[in-house]
Amino acid sequence: MAQEFRNVPVYRGGVKACVFDWAGTVCDAGVFAPVLTFQKLFEEEGVPITSAEVRAPMGVHKRLHIQRICQLPMVKKRWTDKKGSAPTNEDAERIYSKSLTATLDLLPANSKMIKGVPETMNKLRKDLGIKIGSSTGYTSEIMAKLKPLAAAEGYVPDSYVTSDEVQSGRPGPAMIYLNMVRLDVYPAQAVVKVDDTTSGITAGLNAGCWTVGIAKTGNYVGMTEADMDKADKKELAAKVDNAKEILYQAGAHFVIETTRDLPPIVEEINKRMSLGLRP
């Protein structure tokens, strides 16, 4: 007689790797390098855009990011009023072709490590045996400049993956999978995706990973650490709560204020997986 149930292997080990986004998650609190870059490029076109308009599609590949900005109703209207016709994919591609130089110009002033990130990475490695991966909407040329700036402040991931190395970036899972290959880590539930954008959280879910949203230093609060220190506490708390809700609504398993808060979350995930629970 055939058995009514079959045995299925269940992973009960711990977290083996965390894959971190860059801007807003480990560096550039408030995510200003992309915002200032795109504002500069659209200003040169004679069509100024707001910070909120830049932030709306944040997290996707920069080419797609520019295309989505061009399709925002108010941007499309201002573009049409200025140029006589709506923006095309060719216009977006022209802007994208200038984005590398513009980003490289702005990067040194907007790449400072978020407080406590290097120390947190050391704790994850030494106390929890975790490998550190990274993924980003930046291209490999931008990462070549960002990597030494981060290393000078003590942040050196074990793996670097940029959006131009895969067929499609976030919200697809390809950059996470390439990190897993380079780190020699599996299964997917042994990986935690840490990101401050909804597209990054979705990428983690699509990969089958645990996901942790970063609220306070990320895109949806949009403030430097210095500005947050000076901000009205109630207003800042409201912004952080809004960012948390956005990330939870995107499906994040956990949402924390900064990457510094991650180690206890990893310990909680380890407890859950020891019971046979999956993301």
* 77 is known as an active-site residue: no
* 62 is known as an active-site residue: yes
Residue 141 in contact with residue 100, Cβ under 8 Å? yes
For residue 113, list its beta bridge partners. 27
Please give the Cα distance from 273 to 279 (Å, whole number). Answer: 9
Range list of H helices, 107-133: 117-128
- The phi-psi region of residue 222 (left if phi > 0; otherwise alpha if psi is between -120 and 50; otherwise beta) is left
Tallying the residues shown for the chain, one arrives at 279
Q: Which of 21, 28, 91, 196 is catalytic?
A: 21
Residue 265: partners with Cβ closer than 8 Å, 6 or more residues away? 192, 212, 254, 256
Q: Which of 16, 28, 62, 131 is catalytic?
A: 62
Q: Is residue 153 classed exposed, middle or buried when 0-12, 13-18 and 19+ CB atoms within 10 A define those classes?
A: middle
Q: Which residues are known catalytic residues? A: 21, 62
